[in-house]
Amino acid sequence: MIGHPITAVVLGGHDTRGNNAHGPNKPNEDALELPANVASKALLPYQGKPIASYVLDALTSCLQITQIIYVGALTPELTTKVDDNVPAGER
């Protein structure tokens, strides 16, 4: 490892399907998320995988990154790429 260890915090956005601290049954009003049936733009598929996956892969390949914290909804696949997950809106 070169330099000091770094903790990366990835802000994945809040869950617009109503599964968050902004209130139950909040309708999904996002034109991109609605047809894809995803919780946030970070989970929109691009070339077969969620956009957030590309970010997490890049962070995982960096030797100085020792911990990845993801804020927002995750897919089961993405859960394996992070050290900790905090739902958006939680304090």
pLDDT on residue 60: 96
Share of the chain above pLDDT 90, in %: 48
For residue 22, pLDDT beyond 60: no
The 10s digit of each residue's pLDDT in 40-81 is: 888 989 999 999 999 999 999 999 999 999 999 898 999 999
Judged by DSSP in three states, 89 sits in: coil
Pair of tokens at residue 12: 């994945």
Could you tell me the pLDDT band of residue 7, with boundaries at 50, 70 and 90? Answer: very high
Distance CA 48, CA 73 (A): 18
Phi-psi region of 3 (alpha: psi -120 to 50; beta: other; left: phi over 0): left
Predicted TM-score (pTM) of the model is: 0.77
